[in-house]
């Protein structure tokens, strides 16, 4: 996926992520900034979620 497209989708997805995953703060979302790896780490840290599950949630949120 093109980085510009991902950035645009991230802007939209971040609001959805915050609604669905209330433990993610605005600071977390700024830190994630569209990065799958950072998102996975935050989801593991805050929800105990497996990397694979976090990856599915990430892709679901940006599609």
| Interval 1-49: pLDDT, tens | 566 766 777 788 888 888 888 999 999 999 998 888 999 999 999 999 9
Separation of CA 3 from chain center? 15
pLDDT at res. 46? 95
pTM for this model (two decimals)? 0.80
SS3 11: helix
pLDDT for position 2: 64
Going along the chain, which residue ranges are E strands?
none
- Predicted local confidence at residue 1, as pLDDT: 58
Instruction: Give residue 25's pLDDT.
Output: 93
Three-point CA angle 44, 45, 46, nearest 5°: 100
CATH 2.30.110.10 correct for 3-62: no
Q: Helices then strands (H, E): number in the chain?
A: 4, 0
pLDDT for the residue numbered 28: 94
């Amino acid at each position: 996926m093109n980085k510009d497209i991902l950035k645009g989708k991230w802007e939209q997805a971040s609001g959805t992520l915050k609604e669905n995953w209330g433990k993610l703060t605005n600071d977390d979302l700024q830190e994630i900034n569209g990065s799958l790896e950072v998102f996975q780490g935050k989801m593991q840290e805050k929800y105990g979620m497996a990397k694979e599950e976090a990856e599915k949630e990430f892709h679901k949120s940006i599609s």
